[in-house]
């Protein structure tokens, strides 16, 4: 029998003993009268009044034995010290506590507040009660969970034993709340659009496919936060909308990419990508100040200040300077194949995909903050063509530390142009490119009723993980894991 199995066996015996003595190991109620953070903030009044109060929490440490025991409670708001003394609590209650209680149990203590000779704020217990008996031991306080995969599998223990990790998720909530508050302050309406779709749209990605039993049809989990739906709302006369929601992409996993994650998308009538750039700078600087208390970050070896002037980078010009091909002009396939070979980028017969692969090599050298512009029409089927007459679109991407951290563009609202671009994308799908966009003719029909000129923008939780210089898996509460085998 392993040591864990032995500990569990002994704790089940203690659980049975609790039942025998008439104390439920898992009661439905709790006597808690104040949180531990409040016990700390209101300590002087509590101590001077001499009133008895109930506090509760998980036991994180136990010190002492015999006639006097100190313990540390944690209720999720703070930690607080408890004291159990035989001459105050009584022989029977203290002995029973020693007999059945372990580190990891949730208990509640009733007593009065005082300060120890060492200056520790403490509750001296006159009574105690079990709230939830733990059957497995917590990881060691100073070592925690060491195996990276085990950290993700037992995220609840990793968070419990790593206070700074809990702070990450408080910051994550502030991140999304800052974005939501910013948009609402600018008269945007928060909306919810379908997660299950007949046709995926709004991005180039491989979707998850499932079967809808009631309708007996194949459907997809969405790959964008309602892009085409929100643009239909522009047609409907709703000029500013946004959605913060989960999206799903059946693609590879890396430090920057997951299959299901949270994304923001917003759409703004009577605006273009120039307006969007100014809003993006304002929003990103606000996120830095509100969530992290700074606009300066160190990410992947780059030192970045969001308060600095944001540079403009031209996609087509950079590709031509680095690889000798012009993505927005006529490209000789032989030159594209050679450029890919020189850069170590696989070529699979699609020049647009190849150029995107070359760009991913090039962008690693760019610190930012800045905006990438000058992307060819063939690489963005939902954006307006550039008004300067070049074969590019009015699109920008946020560049930070060698990666793209947000995208926005002047929305294409010409239904005839949109139809042709959808058909070109569908031809790519028919040829085997399962990341090309599907032709959504119902959306084209909506555009034929007229959609106002508009700007759209999207960012995902990758921005949050990037600003922390952490992998995106680390900043998700419960990232997807392969199931453990029976032998593990």
Helix/strand/coil for 225: coil
Q: How far is CA 436 from CA 202, 350, 396, in A?
A: 11, 11, 20
Quick check: is 363 in a domain?
no
Same domain, 177 and 109: no
What is the C-alpha separation between 443 and 270, in angstroms, rounded? 20
Same domain, 116 and 207: no
Last residue of a domain, one of 138, 172, 197: 138
Same domain, 168 and 106: no
Closest CA to 444 of 199, 114, 151: 199
The pLDDT, as a whole number, for residue 30 is 96
Quick check: is 40 in a domain?
yes
Task: Quickly state the pLDDT bin for 486 (edges 50, 70, 90).
Answer: low
Same domain, 175 and 134: no
Q: 58 is written with which tokens?
A: 């998980």
Total domain count, the chain: 2
Mean of pLDDT values over 44-54: 97
What is the C-alpha separation between 44 and 36, in angstroms, rounded? 14
What is the C-alpha separation between 108 and 136, in angstroms, rounded? 20
Quick check: is 211 in a domain?
yes
Quick check: is 195 in a domain?
yes
Same domain, 182 and 229: yes
| Terminal-residue alpha carbon distance, the chain | 16
Same domain, 96 and 169: no
Helix/strand/coil for 265: strand
488, pLDDT greater than 60: no
Quick check: is 144 in a domain?
no
Quick check: is 427 in a domain?
yes
The pLDDT, as a whole number, for residue 144 is 62
Sign of CA dihedral 293, 298, 302, 303: positive
What is the C-alpha separation between 416 and 426, in angstroms, rounded? 15
Alpha helices in 50-116, H assignment, sequence order: 86-89, 91-100
Same domain, 129 and 165: no
Return the CATH number at 416: 3.30.930.10
Same domain, 8 and 109: yes
487, pLDDT greater than 70: no
Same domain, 391 and 424: yes
pTM over 0.85: yes
What is the C-alpha separation between 86 and 98, in angstroms, rounded? 11
Q: 212 is written with which tokens?
A: 């809808």
352, pLDDT greater than 90: no
Q: What is the pLDDT of residues 355-407, one digit of tens each?
A: 888 888 888 989 999 999 999 888 888 899 998 888 899 999 999 999 999 99
Quick check: is 446 in a domain?
yes
What is the C-alpha separation between 77 and 349, in angstroms, rounded? 57
Helices (H) and strands (E) in the chain, counts: 16, 18
Listed range (239-243, 315-319, 482-486) with the worst mean pLDDT: 482-486
Task: Quickly state the pLDDT bin for 106 (edges 50, 70, 90).
Answer: very high
242, pLDDT greater than 90: yes
Q: Give me the domain span that covers residue 204.
A: 159-310+368-467
Question: What secondary structure letter does DSSP report for 484?
Answer: P
Q: What is the pLDDT of residues 62-102, one digit of tens each?
A: 998 789 999 999 999 999 999 999 999 999 999 999 999 99
Mean of pLDDT values over 205-216: 92
Helix/strand/coil for 177: helix
The pLDDT, as a whole number, for residue 393 is 93
């Amino acid at each position: 029998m392993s040591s864990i199995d032995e500990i569990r066996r002994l704790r089940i015996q203690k659980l049975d003993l609790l039942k025998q003595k008439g104390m439920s190991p898992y009661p439905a109620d709790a006597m808690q009268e104040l949180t531990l953070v409040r016990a700390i903030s209101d300590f002087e009044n509590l101590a001077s009044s001499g009133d008895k109060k109930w506090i509760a929490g998980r036991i994180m440490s136990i010190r002492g034995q015999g006639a006097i025991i100190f313990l540390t409670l944690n209720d999720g708001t703070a930690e607080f010290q408890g004291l159990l003394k035989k001459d105050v609590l009584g022989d029977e209650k203290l002995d029973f506590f020693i007999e059945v209680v372990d580190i990891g149990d949730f208990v509640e203590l009733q007593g009065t507040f005082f300060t120890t000779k060492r200056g520790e704020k403490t509750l001296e217990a006159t009574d105690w009660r079990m709230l939830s008996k733990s059957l497995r031991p917590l990881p060691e306080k100073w070592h925690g969970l060491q195996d990276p995969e085990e950290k993700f599998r037992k995220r609840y223990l990793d968070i419990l034993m790593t206070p700074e990790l809990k702070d990450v998720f408080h910051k994550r909530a502030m991140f999304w709340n800052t974005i939501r508050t910013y948009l609402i302050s600018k008269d945007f309406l928060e909306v919810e659009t379908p997660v299950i779709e007949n046709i995926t749209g709004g991005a180039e990605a491989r979707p998850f496919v499932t079967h809808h039993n009631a309708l007996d049809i194949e459907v997809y989990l969405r790959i964008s936060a309602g892009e085409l739906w929100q643009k239909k709302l522009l047609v409907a006369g709703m000029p500013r909308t946004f959605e913060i929601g989960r999206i799903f992409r059946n693609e590879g996993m890396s430090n920057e990419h997951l299959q299901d994650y949270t994304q923001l998308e917003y759409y703004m009538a009577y605006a273009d990508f120039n307006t969007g750039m100014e809003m993006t700078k304002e929003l990103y600087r606000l996120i830095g100040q509100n969530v992290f208390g700074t606009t300066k970050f160190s990410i992947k070896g780059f030192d970045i200040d969001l308060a600095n002037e944001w540079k403009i980078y031209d996609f087509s010009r950079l590709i031509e300077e680095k690889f000798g091909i012009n993505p927005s002009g006529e490209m000789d396939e032989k030159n594209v194949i050679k450029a890919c070979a020189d850069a170590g980028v696989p070529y699979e017969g699609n020049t647009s995909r190849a150029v995107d692969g070359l760009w991913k090599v090039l962008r690693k050298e760019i610190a930012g903050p800045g905006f990438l512009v000058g992307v060819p029409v063939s690489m963005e089927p939902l954006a307006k063509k550039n008004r300067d007459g070049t074969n590019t679109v009015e699109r920008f991407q946020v560049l930070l530390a060698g990666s793209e951290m947000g995208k926005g563009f002047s929305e294409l609202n010409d239904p005839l142009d949109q139809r042709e671009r959808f058909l070109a994308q569908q031809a790519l799908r028919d040829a085997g490119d399962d990341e090309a966009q599907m032709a959504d003719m119902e959306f084209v029909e909506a555009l034929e009723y007229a959609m106002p000129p508009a700007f759209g923008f999207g960012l995902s939780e990758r921005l949050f993980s990037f600003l922390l210089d952490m992998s995106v898996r680390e900043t998700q509460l419960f990232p997807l894991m392969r199931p453990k085998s029976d032998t593990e």
